Amino acid sequence: MAIAGQKITLEATFKNSGGTVVDPAVVRVHHRTPVGVSTTYVFGTDAELTKISTGIYRYSILTNDDSLEGIHIYRWDDNGENAIDDNTVVVLPSIFI
């Protein structure tokens, strides 16, 4: 959970079927805002998606707009080779924005 105006940082760890942390050939994060805007970010192309270490990636959302209040849905993707999960983040209104 976050408050509008805050930066939300999401991380994903990619593992193979044996549980070993790996760097996939492709890493993407799909983000859908509360107003229904969907965007896909690709590691190596989009600055919003960064690599922390082997198999660990980070995506940041800046919620500096009241249209970003509500439920954000995101999904990490690597072309289906390694296990990743879908999740949500709730952004609450701020009295300062």
Q: Which of 84, 79, 82 is nearest to 26 (CA)?
A: 79
* Alpha-carbon span 76 to 84, nearest angstrom: 6
Other CB atoms within 10 A of residue 4 CB: 19
Taking domain 2-92, whether its CATH number is 2.60.40.10 is answered by yes
Q: Which residues pair with 51 in a beta bridge?
A: 57
Pair 41, 31: CB distance under 8 Å:
yes
pLDDT (average), residues 53-79:
88
Q: Does 11 score more than 60 pLDDT? A: yes
Pair 22, 14: CB distance under 8 Å:
yes
Task: Kindly report the average pLDDT of the chain as a whole number.
Answer: 88
